[in-house]
């Protein structure tokens, strides 16, 4: 029973992180749509500029709920994975 619960938590946590990542790439596409072609951010090295991208998105789209949804999904995913990891020590 415990193995199934741990496995489910790992799968759910990973799914949350993947969902947050999908939302982030939507944010990146919106930011790139507002930038000139020579200033657009490449998808390859996006992790180095992730906070800058979110900050730019907040400036360009202040009413967007995507940032909030991304942080909620990422937080839930990290919390699930952290709790799963810590459950091995209890």
Q: For the chain, how far is it from start to end, CA to CA, in angstroms?
A: 16
CA distance 26 to 56: 13
Q: Which residues contact 35 (CB under 8 A, 6 or more apart)?
A: 41
Locus of tokens 């939302």: 23
pLDDT digits (tens, 9 = 90+) for 28-70: 999 999 999 999 998 887 888 899 999 999 999 999 999 999 9
Mean pLDDT, residues 6-10:
91
Q: pTM (2 decimals)? A: 0.89
- pLDDT category of residue 90 using cuts at 50, 70 and 90: low
76 falls in which pLDDT band (50, 70, 90)?
A: very high
Name the 3-class secondary structure at 69.
Answer: helix
Q: Where are the domains of the chain?
A: 2-87
User: What percent of the chain has a predicted confidence (pLDDT) above 90?
Assistant: 77
* Residue 43: exposure state from Cβ atoms within 10 A (0-12, 13-18, ≥19): exposed
Identify the pLDDT of residue 1: 72
């Amino acid at each position: 029973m415990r193995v199934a619960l741990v496995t489910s938590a790992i799968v759910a946590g990973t799914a949350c992180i993947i969902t947050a990542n999908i939302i982030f790439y939507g944010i990146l596409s919106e930011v790139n749509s507002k930038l000139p072609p020579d200033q657009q951010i490449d998808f390859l090295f996006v992790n180095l500029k992730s906070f800058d991208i979110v900050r730019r998105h907040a400036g360009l789209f202040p009413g967007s709920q995507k940032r909030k949804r991304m942080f909620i999904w990422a937080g839930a995913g990290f919390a699930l994975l952290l709790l799963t990891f810590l459950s091995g020590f209890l």
